[in-house]
Amino acid sequence: MSRKDRYHDVVKQALENEGWLITHEQLVLKSGRKNMYIDLGAELLVAEKENIKIAVEVKSFTNTSEISDFHSALGQFNIYKLALTEQEPNRTLYLAIPDWVYEELFEDKFMQRVLINYSVLLILFNNENKKITKWIPNI
């Protein structure tokens, strides 16, 4: 198992507050000889529809270089996305980041193109009030 991200419990509580059922504290994906661990798996029962299933990778962006943190997060996101496509194709992967990181880094036009090009889905959260502030795109 991997170590919990700094905001793991914040995102977990924020999802639960929105009605999500946390199904996995760490969603395990098999990848050859090694296992990969996505931070959270969750489901939401929608009236008259099938359950919506998501996997959430939480990132804090606490290192001195936000760009370096983003490079790491983007690589991890893409690898997990490929593994999910093969192992749990009905589950959608999201990257959860603090809302202030989005405002400082991702509102840039180039960064927006990167997010679109790599089809990165985001959950923005406020770590102080433990709430999700935005889903990108909106869920």
Tell me the domain boundaries of the chain: 8-49+66-128
- The continuous run of DSSP H or E covering 129 comes out as none
* Cβ atoms of 88 and 123 closer than 8 Å: no
Q: What is the pLDDT of residue 49?
A: 59
Taking the C-alpha atoms of residue 61 and residue 6, their distance in angstroms, rounded to an integer, is 10
One digit per residue, the tens of pLDDT, for the chain of length 139 reads 567 778 899 999 999 999 999 999 889 998 778 888 999 899 887 665 568 899 999 998 888 888 899 999 999 999 999 999 999 999 999 999 999 999 999 888 999 999 999 999 999 999 999 999 999 987 6
Which pLDDT score, from 0 to 100, does residue 66 have? 86
pLDDT of residue 63: 84
- Residue 16: left if φ>0, alpha if ψ -120 to 50, beta else—which one? alpha
Question: Which CATH code, of 3.30.70.790, 3.40.1350.10, 3.40.50.1000, 3.30.70.890, is assigned to 8-49+66-128?
Answer: 3.40.1350.10
Q: What is the pLDDT of residue 47?
A: 60
pTM: 0.90
